[in-house]
Structures are given as structure tokens and as C-alpha cells.
């Protein structure tokens, strides 16, 4: 069964905070849920489907359902890291199409800054029973940044991608972030600024890395008859796909991401092609993440992503493929180290015509949002959604 047009995104909300010292995790979940439901013109009493991931306190969705006074008849706490919430949009459409719910609420919250977490540069063990991979990895010191750095190193070796090309991705994000009053980093930077910033893990510099922020966001996905009854612009979900990419038993290939698995089915379901898309929200934990996903989704031939992203081509109003017009994770927000949900939010703003006027893409009737979760260099989740204005 195709899910094309079986549900709509009716409400979104992004928490304005970037440092949540005075907020609990549960408070942020509830505040973003309230914000998205009010945006849609709904209340917590209308919610009959609830989706969250590992950032929610407690066992799966249990504590948050109780805390927010929800009575869902459909629940889903699939956790594939930062890509979870993009996958949840697809799951919500599936559940709505199957008649399991009509108003699906997806929430995300995190406060790594308030907790002083060394997100990218310290190896992390999950604790408890180790995963089968952990003894063969954790003692060597894999961190978020050096695992993504190995992808960049291989891409440069194999395709001739340069640090300057990667830097253009950050430059484009910074051009957008200057117009976002909530963005953590609002200064426009240059290619020279990026390649001149301190090397963290070769070949990734400090400015190749995303921000670490507190905050969160929420999405409300509804059945067509609910969408018709609401006053907001109608954002139809045209296609969705999810996948995992692994080390494949040792047949390691760092030149592509799970987007190579999710792009083709999402486009096929939507019945559109990459050249039809007016705006893209692309997971931007690091500059290399963006470049690889753009190639894998079909916006550039494999190995030619460097040419696609260079010379301002990702800047709204300047280039051919405007991306992450809120400033993305590179400059604005990466709440809880999970950037997938905010990717969907800016795609919805663009399709509604409600992005900041300085970055709003003209006649933006078709947008794509893509998330990556986990580690690009070992195992990660991928999820793609394609959205259309009706």
C-alpha cells in the first residue's frame, strides 16, 4: 500500500531555548507538545497516537503519556537516534492509514548543554550489557566526531573532495542562521573561517561540527479529514522511507550513507524526483554528513557532492538547492544531539510559506527532510520524508 497523501502534518513547534538550565526534560516534552497542538488548533485530548524515542525519560512512551495526560490507542518508541523523528512521521502516516489513530503527536527534548555533556569528543559506553560491537570498538576511542571524520577522510581520498567544499556547507548554514533570532550561532562565516578553525579530528575542523544545544520540538500528524477541519496550511506527506546501514560484517564502506537506501523508495512513493524538490532539510551533524546524504538522495552523482555544495549553491535566494534555512544543526539547533525533528520543522515552514522572509524559497510546493541517527562511520539509522503543499 502506498502511503502517498494518507496523512498531513498539521502542527509543529520548536522550543526557542538553546540552554534549558531551568527546565526539566519532561517539561520540554510537554511544552513542545502544547506548542505543536496549539499550532494545529488541537489539544492533548485530541491525541490518540504518541511517538517518542530514547530522549524521553522513562520506559518508552510510558512516563510521557502519563505526564502529558494522553490516552493513545497507538504508541511507538522506535529509537534510531537523531533520525527517529523523521521515521516517526512515516510511522504516523502508516498508523493513520491503517486506522490505528487520527492525531499523532511526536515529541523530542534534550538538555546536553545544561548537563555539561561532552557530546562529540569523548567515547561513550552505553553501560549495562554491552552490545556485541562494543568490545571491538569502545576501547579504541571512537567518538562522534572521529567516526564522521573517517567518512570525510575516505571521501576526500576516493573522490577528491576538499575541506573548502565542505566548508561551503557551514557557510550556507550561517547565511541562513543570521535571520533566525533563536539560532545559537548567528554570525556569517567564510570558507576561510571554517578551514582556519581548530582541527578537532582530521579532516574536520571545529566549524565543520554542529552546535550542542538544549531544547526540543514536536510534530502533529493527522488524518485527511482532521486536516480539512483545521485552519492551517495543508502539508501532505507524499513519501517516507527508513533504513539502517551497518558495518556489514566487516565489508565496511564509508563512502555512502543509509540515505542511499531511503531516498529511492521515498521518491518512488511520492512519485517525484530530486530535481522536482524546491527545498531540502538535510541532517547536518557535520558538514560531511550533508554532502554524503545529498549524493545518496540523488541530488548529485556519487563523488560530485563537493561541486554541488560549493560556491553558495545551498544558500536560499543564491543557489539552486536551498538547504536548512533555519541555520540547521550547524548553526541553530541540535536539541538533545538529535537533529531529525528540527529537519522536519523547517521543511514544514518552507512548504507552508512560513519560513523567515529572507530565506523563504519562492513557490516552495515540494520539500524533503532527511535524518541520520547513530554514527555515519559505524552503524546508523536513516529516514526520509517528502512533503507537498496542497
Partner 1 sequence: MAAQAQAKERKLPAPAVSPETKDYWDAAAQGRLLVRKCTACGEAHHYPRTICPFCFSDKTEWITASGKGTIYSYSVMRRAPVPYVMAYVTLAEGPSMMTNIVDCDFDRLRIGQEVTVVFKPTDGGAPLPMFTPA
Q: Using CB under 8 A, list all residues that contact partner 1.
A: 121, 125, 130, 132-143, 145-147, 149-154, 157, 198-204, 247-252, 254, 378
What is the closest distance, in whole angstroms, from the C-beta atom of residue 87 to partner 1 in the complex?
23
Place of cell 563537493: 306
**Residue placing its CB nearer to partner 1 in the complex, 99 or 127:** 127
Closest-CA residue to 5 (of 277, 242, 264, 269)? 269
Can you give 204-254 as a three-state secondary structure string? EEHHHECCCECEEEEEEEECHHHHHHCCCCCEEEEEEEEEEECCHHHCCCC
Task: Compute the least distance from the CB of residue 149 to partner 1, in Å.
Answer: 4
What distance in Å separates the CA atoms of residue 150 and residue 255, rounded to the nearest whole number?
10
- DSSP reduced 3-state for 12: strand
CB of 329 to partner 1, least distance (A): 19
Q: What is the largest CA-CA distance in the chain?
A: 55
Smallest separation (angstroms) from partner 1 to the CB of 153? 5
Distance CA 376, CA 382 (A): 10
Cβ-based neighbours of 93, under 8 Å, separated by 6 or more = 3, 6, 7, 221, 237, 240
Give the integer Cα–Cα distance in Å for 192 and 34.
42
CB of 248 to partner 1, least distance (A): 8
Burial class (CB in 10 A: 0-12, 13-18, 19+), 301: exposed
- Quick one: which of 383, 378, 381 has its CA closest to 132? 378
Give Cα separations from 61 to 21, 32, 53, 218, 338 (angstroms).
Answer: 24, 15, 8, 14, 17
Separation CA 209–CA 290 (nearest Å) = 11
Q: What 3-state DSSP class applies to 118? A: coil
Q: Which is nearer to partner 1, 231 or 251 (CB)?
A: 251
Residue closer to partner 1 by CB (options 199, 318) is: 199
For partner 1, the closer of residues 20 and 151 by Cβ is 151
Closer residue to partner 1 (CB): 327 or 377:
377
- Smallest gap from Cβ 286 to partner 1, in A, equals 12
Spatial contact of 14 and 182, defined as CB atoms under 8 Å apart: yes
Q: Looking at beta carbons only, is 147 or 290 nearer to partner 1?
A: 147
Given the complex with partner 1, which of 134 and 301 has the nearer CB atom? 134
Q: State which residue, 23 or 150, has the beta carbon closest to partner 1.
A: 150
Residue with smaller CB distance to partner 1, 38 or 133: 133
State the minimum distance, in angstroms, from the CB of residue 294 to partner 1.
20
Nearer to partner 1, 250 or 357 (CB): 250
Q: Least distance to partner 1 from the beta carbon of 152, Å? A: 8
* Residue 241, all three cell numbers: 522511507
Peptide bond into 203 cis (omega under 30): yes
Contact by Cβ (8 Å): 163, 155: no
Q: Smallest distance from the beta carbon of 259 to partner 1, in angstroms?
A: 19
> Smallest distance, Å, CB 211 to partner 1?
16
Amino acid at each position: 500500500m502506498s502511503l502517498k497523501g494518507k496523512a498531513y502534518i498539521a502542527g509543529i513547534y520548536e522550543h526557542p531555548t538553546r540552554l534549558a538550565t531551568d527546565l526539566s526534560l519532561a517539561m520540554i516534552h510537554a511544552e513542545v507538545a502544547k506548542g505543536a497542538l496549539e499550532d494545529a488548533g488541537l489539544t492533548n485530548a485530541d491525541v490518540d497516537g504518541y511517538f517518542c524515542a530514547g530522549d524521553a525519560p522513562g520506559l518508552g512512551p510510558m512516563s510521557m503519556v502519563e505526564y502529558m495526560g494522553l490516552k493513545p490507542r497507538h504508541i511507538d518508541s522506535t529509537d534510531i537516534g537523531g533520525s527517529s523523528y523523521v521515521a516517526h512521521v512515516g510511522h504516523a502516516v502508516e498508523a493513520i492509514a491503517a486506522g490505528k489513530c487520527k492525531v499523532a503527536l511526536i515529541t523530542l527534548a534534550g538538555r546536553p548543554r545544561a548537563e555539561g555533556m561532552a557530546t562529540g569528543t569523548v567515547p561513550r559506553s552505553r553501560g549495562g550489557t554491552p552490545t556485541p560491537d562494543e568490545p571491538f570498538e569502545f576501547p579504541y576511542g571512537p567518538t562522534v566526531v572521529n567516526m564522521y571524520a573517517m567518512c570525510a577522510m575516505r571521501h576526500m581520498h576516493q573522490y577528491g573532495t576538499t575541506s573548502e567544499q565542505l566548508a561551503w556547507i557551514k557557510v550556507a548554514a550561517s547565511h541562513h542562521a543570521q535571520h533566525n533570532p533563536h539560532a545559537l550561532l548567528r554570525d556569517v562565516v567564510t570558507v576561510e573561517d571554517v578551514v582556519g578553525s581548530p582541527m578537532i579530528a582530521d579532516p574536520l575542523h571545529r566549524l565543520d561540527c554542529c552546535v550542542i544545544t538544549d531544547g526540543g520540538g514536536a510534530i502533529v500528524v493527522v488524518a485527511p479529514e482532521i486536516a480539512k477541519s483545521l485552519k492551517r496550511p495543508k502539508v501532505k506527506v507524499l513519501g517516507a522511507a527508513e533504513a539502517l546501514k551497518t558495518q556489514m560484517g566487516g565489508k565496511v564502506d564509508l563512502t555512502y550513507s543509509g540515505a542511499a537506501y531511503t531516498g529511492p523508495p521515498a521518491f518512488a512513493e511520492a512519485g517525484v524526483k530530486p530535481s522536482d524538490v524546491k527545498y531540502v532539510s538535510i541532517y547536518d551533524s557535520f558538514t560531511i554528513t550533508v554532502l554524503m546524504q545529498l549524493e545518496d538522495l540523488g541530488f548529485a552523482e556519487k563523488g560530485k557532492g563537493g561541486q554541488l555544495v560549493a560556491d553558495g549553491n545551498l544558500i536560499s535566494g543564491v543557489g539552486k538547492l536551498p538547504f536548512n534555512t533555519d541555520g540547521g544543526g550547524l548553526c541553530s539547533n541540535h536539541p538533545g544531539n538529535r537533529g531529525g525533528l528540527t529537519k522536519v520543522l523547517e521543511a514544514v515552514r518552507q512548504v507552508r510559506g512560513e519560513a523567515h522572509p529572507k530565506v523563504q524559497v519562492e513557490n516552495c510546493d515540494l520539500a524533503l527532510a532527511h535524518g541520520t541517527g547513530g554514527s555515519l562511520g559505524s552503524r546508523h539509522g536513516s529516514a526520509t520524508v517528502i512533503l507537498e503543499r496542497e
